[in-house]
């Protein structure tokens, strides 16, 4: 009987020692994990930078696809009292001045009006609204993956932002919606940095208007996101004189046309979304007042990065001189959509079409 008692006592002691060891080891792992997390060190395959991108992409997509979104207008500061979920009813200028978190879902479905209204939001404005860090950029795509409608499958309803190839690392989140006989997919990419490469295009220029009309310049935004005009400039050189127009405000919506004119009140606008009067600033003329050179001139579109001093030429149009292109009264110079710097990419049009989508 005594041997049995001693054996049980030893077994109980061994079991207690094992339990105490496992408890102490578990506590050690918990403390070690907490320390590494606070110190932002990595253990095993976990990378804090990648985790940060993963969280940003996941949370950003959730904010984008979990509700209607909201907009806070700008008054004397952000006017929270008049915030609204109807952000898609506001202009690009208003959304750029205020604060917007776009939401695309209404009644558990992707809302077509809200998707279309994404063209009025800048990439920077969306990044702020989705809560991304200042050093992050994004790319958003909304695709019809499958559809019962003809020519709808594999088409994009929205595709814009910073390309992944310009950033050292990225993270992607997506969500699919089945509605109205279609499979729609929303994909949000969040990048660690990345260089934005959004451009504007000069598409048509009138330097010799007919019937005492205004001079005008047509500009198109080929991107899906809106582009702020701050940092963009127009430079004109003619007869040894140069004039420069540096924009401090304004926004050009995605996939839209802007007209810069010498007189907004008499300007034919066509389907242009934005009309900017540069006659009041002396850059463009109307009637007998000339801003652009009639016989010879060079017009350059430039952009200055916010962290740079020297502007970069984005597009150039030249007439007269050695170009062989001499517009007469009533003609326009129209870009053919090829080289942005070659005089051979511009042709004379007898019937100018301000505000028309280029063919």
Q: Where are the chain's structural domains?
A: 1-46, 48-192, 201-349
Predicted pLDDT at 2? 45
Q: What does the alpha-carbon distance between residue 172 and residue 147 come to, in Å, rounded to a whole number?
A: 24
CB 295 within 8 A of CB 326: yes
Predicted pLDDT at 20? 77
Predicted pLDDT at 194? 81
Predicted pLDDT at 21? 79
DSSP string, 167-184: SS-EEEEEEEEEETTEEE
Predicted pLDDT at 1? 45
Q: Return per-residue pLDDT of the chain as tens, 359 residues.
A: 444 444 556 666 666 777 777 888 888 888 877 776 665 555 444 557 778 999 999 999 999 999 999 999 998 889 999 999 999 999 999 999 999 999 999 999 999 999 999 999 999 999 999 999 999 999 999 999 999 999 999 999 999 999 988 888 999 999 999 999 999 999 999 999 887 778 999 999 999 999 889 999 999 999 999 999 999 999 999 877 889 999 999 999 999 999 999 999 999 999 999 999 999 889 999 988 888 988 889 999 999 877 677 889 999 999 998 888 999 999 999 999 999 999 999 999 999 999 987 55
Predicted pLDDT at 231? 92
Pairing of strands 256-261, 274-277: parallel
- Phi, psi angle pair for 46, to nearest 5°: -75, 130
Strand, coil or helix: 99:
strand
Predicted pLDDT at 287? 86
Predicted pLDDT at 44? 46
pTM of the complete model: 0.83
Q: What does the alpha-carbon distance between residue 2 and residue 208 come to, in Å, rounded to a whole number?
A: 118
Encoded tokens for 310: 């020297």
Q: Fold for domain 201-349?
A: Immunoglobulin-like (2.60.40)
Q: What does the alpha-carbon distance between residue 205 and residue 258 come to, in Å, rounded to a whole number?
A: 12
Residue with tokens 């020519």: 151
Predicted pLDDT at 36? 60
Strand, coil or helix: 59:
helix
CB 190 within 8 A of CB 310: no
Predicted pLDDT at 305? 79
DSSP class of 84: B
Which phi-psi region, left, alpha or beta, contains residue 200 (left: φ > 0; alpha: ψ -120 to 50)?
Answer: beta
Q: What does the alpha-carbon distance between residue 333 and residue 345 come to, in Å, rounded to a whole number?
A: 10
């Amino acid at each position: 009987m005594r041997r049995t008692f001693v054996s049980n006592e030893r077994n109980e002691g061994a079991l207690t020692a094992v339990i105490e060891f496992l408890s102490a080891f578990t506590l050690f792992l918990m403390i070690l994990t907490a320390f590494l997390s606070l110190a932002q060190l990595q253990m095993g395959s976990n990378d804090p930078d990648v985790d940060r991108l993963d969280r940003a992409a996941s949370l950003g997509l959730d904010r984008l696809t979990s509700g209607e979104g909201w907009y806070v207008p700008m008054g004397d500061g952000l006017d929270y009292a008049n915030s609204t979920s109807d952000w898609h009813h506001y202009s690009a200028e208003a959304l750029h001045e205020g604060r917007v978190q776009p939401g695309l879902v209404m009644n558990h479905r992707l809302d077509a009006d809200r998707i279309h209204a994404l063209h009025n939001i800048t990439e920077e404005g969306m990044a702020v609204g989705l809560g991304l860090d200042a050093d992050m950029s994004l790319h958003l795509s909304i695709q019809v993956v499958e559809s019962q409608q003809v020519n709808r499958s594999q088409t994009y309803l929205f595709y814009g932002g910073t390309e992944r190839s310009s950033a050292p690392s990225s993270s992607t989140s997506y969500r699919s919606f089945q509605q109205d006989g279609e499979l729609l997919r929303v994909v949000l990419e969040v990048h660690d940095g990345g260089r934005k490469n959004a451009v504007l295009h000069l598409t048509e220029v009138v330097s010799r208007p007919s019937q005492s009309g205004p001079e005008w310049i047509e500009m198109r935004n080929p991107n899906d996101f809106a582009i702020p005009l701050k940092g963009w400039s127009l430079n004109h050189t003619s007869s040894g004189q140069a004039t420069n127009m540096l924009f401090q405000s304004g926004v050009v919506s995605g996939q839209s046309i802007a007209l810069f004119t010498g007189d907004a009140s008499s300007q034919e606008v066509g389907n242009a979304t934005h009309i900017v009067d540069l006659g009041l600033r002396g850059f463009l003329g109307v009637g007998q007042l000339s801003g652009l050179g009639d016989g010879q001139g060079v017009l350059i579109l430039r952009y200055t990065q916010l962290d740079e001093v020297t502007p970069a030429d984005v597009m150039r149009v030249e007439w007269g001189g050695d170009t062989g292109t001499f517009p007469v009264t009533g003609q326009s110079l129209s870009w053919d959509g090829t080289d942005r710097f070659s005089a051979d990419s511009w042709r004379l049009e007898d019937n100018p079409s301000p505000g028309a989508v280029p063919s």
